[in-house]
Amino acid sequence: MPTDEEVVQTAAEAAEGLVLSRYKQSEVRDLDVTVTFDDGVLEVDVYLNAPEGDADEEQVAEDAALAARSAVDDLFDEDA
Protein backbone atom coordinates (compact mmCIF):
# COMPACT_ATOMS: atom_id res chain seq x y z
CA MET A 1 0.00 0.00 0.00
CA PRO A 2 1.54 3.33 -1.02
CA THR A 3 2.03 5.94 1.68
CA ASP A 4 0.05 9.18 1.58
CA GLU A 5 3.30 10.99 0.74
CA GLU A 6 3.95 8.66 -2.23
CA VAL A 7 0.41 9.26 -3.50
CA VAL A 8 0.76 13.06 -3.27
CA GLN A 9 4.19 13.06 -4.89
CA THR A 10 3.10 10.74 -7.71
CA ALA A 11 0.06 12.89 -8.48
CA ALA A 12 1.99 16.17 -8.39
CA GLU A 13 4.76 14.84 -10.64
CA ALA A 14 2.25 13.49 -13.17
CA ALA A 15 0.32 16.77 -13.32
CA GLU A 16 3.46 18.86 -13.71
CA GLY A 17 4.86 16.45 -16.27
CA LEU A 18 1.76 16.71 -18.43
CA VAL A 19 1.82 20.52 -18.37
CA LEU A 20 5.50 20.58 -19.28
CA SER A 21 4.85 18.15 -22.13
CA ARG A 22 2.46 20.70 -23.66
CA TYR A 23 4.38 23.91 -22.91
CA LYS A 24 8.05 24.79 -22.71
CA GLN A 25 8.97 25.49 -19.10
CA SER A 26 10.04 29.02 -20.05
CA GLU A 27 6.54 29.68 -21.45
CA VAL A 28 4.73 28.80 -18.23
CA ARG A 29 4.15 32.01 -16.29
CA ASP A 30 2.65 30.27 -13.26
CA LEU A 31 1.90 26.67 -12.36
CA ASP A 32 0.41 25.63 -9.06
CA VAL A 33 -0.40 21.98 -8.42
CA THR A 34 -2.13 21.29 -5.12
CA VAL A 35 -2.65 17.66 -4.14
CA THR A 36 -4.24 16.30 -1.00
CA PHE A 37 -4.84 12.68 -0.09
CA ASP A 38 -6.88 12.27 3.07
CA ASP A 39 -8.82 9.20 4.19
CA GLY A 40 -8.44 7.65 0.75
CA VAL A 41 -9.78 10.72 -1.07
CA LEU A 42 -7.53 12.31 -3.68
CA GLU A 43 -8.02 15.97 -4.56
CA VAL A 44 -6.01 17.59 -7.33
CA ASP A 45 -6.15 21.28 -8.22
CA VAL A 46 -4.09 22.64 -11.09
CA TYR A 47 -3.74 26.35 -11.79
CA LEU A 48 -1.93 27.25 -14.99
CA ASN A 49 -1.05 30.59 -16.49
CA ALA A 50 0.52 30.09 -19.89
CA PRO A 51 0.48 31.95 -23.19
CA GLU A 52 -2.36 31.60 -25.63
CA GLY A 53 -1.37 29.35 -28.44
CA ASP A 54 -1.86 25.83 -29.67
CA ALA A 55 -2.89 24.51 -26.25
CA ASP A 56 -5.91 25.74 -24.27
CA GLU A 57 -4.60 26.32 -20.75
CA GLU A 58 -7.89 25.35 -19.08
CA GLN A 59 -7.94 22.07 -20.98
CA VAL A 60 -4.28 21.43 -20.17
CA ALA A 61 -5.00 22.05 -16.47
CA GLU A 62 -7.92 19.59 -16.60
CA ASP A 63 -5.79 17.05 -18.44
CA ALA A 64 -3.05 17.47 -15.84
CA ALA A 65 -5.49 16.73 -13.02
CA LEU A 66 -6.70 13.64 -14.90
CA ALA A 67 -3.10 12.53 -15.45
CA ALA A 68 -2.47 12.90 -11.71
CA ARG A 69 -5.47 10.73 -10.85
CA SER A 70 -4.47 8.13 -13.43
CA ALA A 71 -0.92 7.97 -12.07
CA VAL A 72 -2.28 7.38 -8.57
CA ASP A 73 -4.59 4.66 -9.87
CA ASP A 74 -1.56 3.01 -11.50
CA LEU A 75 0.37 3.30 -8.23
CA PHE A 76 -2.36 1.41 -6.37
CA ASP A 77 -2.68 -1.15 -9.19
CA GLU A 78 1.08 -1.87 -8.99
CA ASP A 79 0.77 -2.45 -5.28
CA ALA A 80 -2.21 -4.81 -5.56
Burial 32-44 (b: 16+ CB within 10 A, else e): ebebebeeeebeb
What pLDDT was estimated at residue 55? Answer: 75
Mean pLDDT by 10 residues, the chain (80 residues): 95 97 91 96 96 82 97 91
Please report how the helices 4-22 and 57-79 are oriented relative to each other, as an axis angle in degrees rounded to 10: 140
Domain that holds residue 55: 4-79
Number of domains in the chain: 1
- For the whole model, what pTM was predicted? 0.91
CATH number of the domain that residue 61 is part of: 3.30.300.100
